[in-house]
Amino acid sequence: MITFYTYPGPNHRKARIMLEESGEAYETRTVDITKGEQFDPAYLRISPNNKVPAIVDHTASGDVPVFETAAILIYLAEKSGRLLPASGAGRIDAIAWLVWGTGGIGGTLPQLHHYADLAQQVPGTVERFTTEAVRLFNVLERRLKEREYICGDYSIADIPSFCSTAGWLGRVRDLSGGKLGETPAIDRWLKAVAARPAVKRAG
């Protein structure tokens, strides 16, 4: 049994999709980050970076805490034997694109979200993060023109990028003022991932 510590937000969905994909049994515990529960000393022993999501796997040999979304996805893939090649070039390729999805797209879009929604605009910031978001979506479009999913077969590499792209592609296109063109490969991929039963269950 796995305990899933979370609060609704962008990273919550990524971990939840993988919990559903893995087939592992889990229970959900809310950590209300609006009330500061992420700083509770008991929670800091699970997630020392005071963020959600985190999991604790209650195994026969003891509890295994895991924090950071990318690490949670790798852990669940290894435990379940799903969505990550066991070795070789395919494995490191999936990990590289997983990190790109959490750190690249997943790192840039919340910044854009923050600056674009400020009542008082900070000169240059929206343009800077929009330019980077357009670049990242162009990288993704090029990749998906040549493959059905980011690493060929559907894998943990798709999950973070899917969550961020599904939520943000339209807004980045609007903010870019025409600099982000049509993205037919991304659009096809978004539909394919959204249609997966585990993704639907995760909500």
Ligand X SMILES: N[C@@H](CCC(=O)N[C@@H](CS)C(=O)NCC(=O)O)C(=O)O
**Minimum Å distance from CB 201 to ligand X?**
20
**Minimum Å distance from CB 111 to ligand X?**
12
Considering only 16-24, 45-53, 82-90, 115-123, which stretch makes contact with ligand X by CB under 6 A? 45-53
- Alpha-carbon span 199 to 146, nearest angstrom: 23
The binder of ligand X chosen from 50, 80, 131, 138 (CB under 6 A): 50
* Residue numbers 4-43 binding ligand X by CB under 6 A: 9-11, 33, 38
- Tokens, residue 71: 């690490």
Q: What count of Cα atoms within 13 Å lies in the side-chain half-sphere of residue 71? A: 12
Considering only 50-58, 81-89, 111-119, 122-130, which stretch makes contact with ligand X by CB under 6 A? 50-58
Window 91-110: contact mask with ligand X (x via CB under 6 A): -----------x--------
**Minimum Å distance from CB 34 to ligand X?**
9
- Tokens, residue 127: 């343009």
Q: Is 69 in the site for ligand X (CB under 6 A)?
A: yes
Q: How many CB atoms within 10 Å of residue 71?
A: 14
> b/e per residue, 168-201, with b = 16+ CB within 10 A?
bbeebbebbeeebeebebbeebbebbeebebbee
Please report, for residues 8, 50, 69, the alpha-carbon distance to residue 99 in angstroms, rounded to integers and kept in the order given. 21, 20, 10
The binding site for ligand X (CB under 6 A) comprises 9-11, 33, 38, 50-52, 68-69, 102
